[in-house]
A and B are shown apart, each in its own frame.
Chain A
Amino acid sequence: MGFLYISFGLYLLGIVLSIRKELSYWTSFAAAISSLVAGILALTKEFSSPQFPIMPGLSIGIGLDKTSGVFLVVASLSFIMLALYSVDFGKLFSGKMAAWFNLSLFGMTLVISARDSVDFLIGWEVMTIGLFLQILERRDSHEEAFQFLAFGEVSAMALIVGFASLFLTNGSFSMSNGVTSTPFFLVMVTIGFIIKMDIFPFHTWITGAYSKAPSNAAALLSAPLTLMGVYGIVRVISVAGYSVWWGVGILAFGSVSAFWGAMQAAAERSLKKLPAYSTVENNGIILTAIGLSAMAGAAGSKEMAILSRFAFLAGLFVAFSHTLAKSLLFMSVGHAKESLHEEEIDNVRGIWSNVGGIPAAGILTSGLSFSAFPPTIGFVGEWMILEALFQSYKFKGDAERLIAAFAGILIALAIGLAAFSMIKLIGYTVLGPNHGMKAHQFPSSRMKAAQVSLVLLLIVGGVFSPYIIGSLGYSNFLGGILVVPYPLLILSSNPIFGVVSPTMFFVVVGFLFIIPYLLYHTSERKSRKVQAWNGGLALTEDEYFTVPAYSFILEYVLRKLYLTREVRTGYTAEVTSKDAAEYIYDYLNRFVRRLSLFTSKIIMNGKISLYILYILIVFIIAFLV
Chain B
Amino acid sequence: MTKRLTERKMYSTIIQTQSKSKIFRNSLHIYAIDVGNSNDLNFDIRALQAPQYNIHRFGIFFADVPRHADVLLILGSPTKKMVPVLNETINQMPEPFYIVVIENVENHMCENNHDAVDIESIGLPNIAARLTRYRGPEELIAVLLKLKGEWS
Contacts and interface: CB of A to CB of B under 8 A. Distances in A.
Contacts of A50: none
B92 A537 contact: no
A535 B85 contact: yes
Contacts of B65: 533
B117 to A, nearest CB: 15
Contacts of B84: 536
B85 A530 contact: no
Interface string A32-71: 0000000000000000000000000000000000000000
A536 B67 contact: no
A44 B133 CA distance: 95
A533 B85 contact: no
Nearest to B93: A530
A622 to B, nearest CB: 90
* Chain B interface category by residue count: 10 to 19
B36 interface: no
Interface residues of A, number: 6
B79 to A, nearest CB: 13
A537 B66 CA distance: 13
Nearest to B95: A528
A533 B33 CA distance: 14
Query: A interface, by DSSP: helix, strand, loop or mixed?
Result: loop
Contacts of B40: none
Contacts of A536: 33, 84-86, 88-89
Nearest to B86: A536
B91 interface: yes
Interface string B90-120: 0110000000000000000000000000000
Of A530, A537, A538, most B-chain CB atoms within 10 Å: A530
B73 to A, nearest CB: 14
A335 B17 CA distance: 59
B91 to A, nearest CB: 6
A529 to B, nearest CB: 10
Nearest to B65: A533
Nearest to B66: A533
Interface in B45-86: 65-67, 84-86
A534 to B, nearest CB: 9
B67 A533 contact: yes
A537 B89 CA distance: 9
B67 A537 contact: no
Interface in A521-555: 530, 533, 535-538
B30 to A, nearest CB: 16
A587 to B, nearest CB: 53
A536 B72 CA distance: 13
Contacts of A535: 85
A533 B93 CA distance: 11
A263 B66 CA distance: 41
A537 B82 CA distance: 10
A259 to B, nearest CB: 42
A530 B65 CA distance: 14
Contacts of B66: 533
B106 to A, nearest CB: 26
Residue from A533, A535, A537 having most chain B Cβ neighbours under 10 A = A533
Contacts of A530: 91-92
Nearest to A537: B85
Contacts of B33: 536
B4 to A, nearest CB: 37
A406 to B, nearest CB: 49
A605 B92 CA distance: 78
B41 to A, nearest CB: 18
Contacts of A533: 65-67, 92
Contacts of A537: 85, 88
A475 B88 CA distance: 63
Nearest to B87: A536
B8 to A, nearest CB: 35
5 contacts: A533-B65, A535-B85, A536-B86, A536-B88, A537-B85
Given A536-B85, A536-B89, 14 more contacts: A530-B91, A530-B92, A533-B65, A533-B66, A533-B67, A533-B92, A535-B85, A536-B33, A536-B84, A536-B86, A536-B88, A537-B85, A537-B88, A538-B88
Interface of B: 33, 65-67, 84-86, 88-89, 91-92
- Of all A-B residue pairs in the complex, the 6 with the closest CB atoms, nearest first, are A536-B85, A536-B88, A536-B89, A533-B65, A530-B92, A533-B92
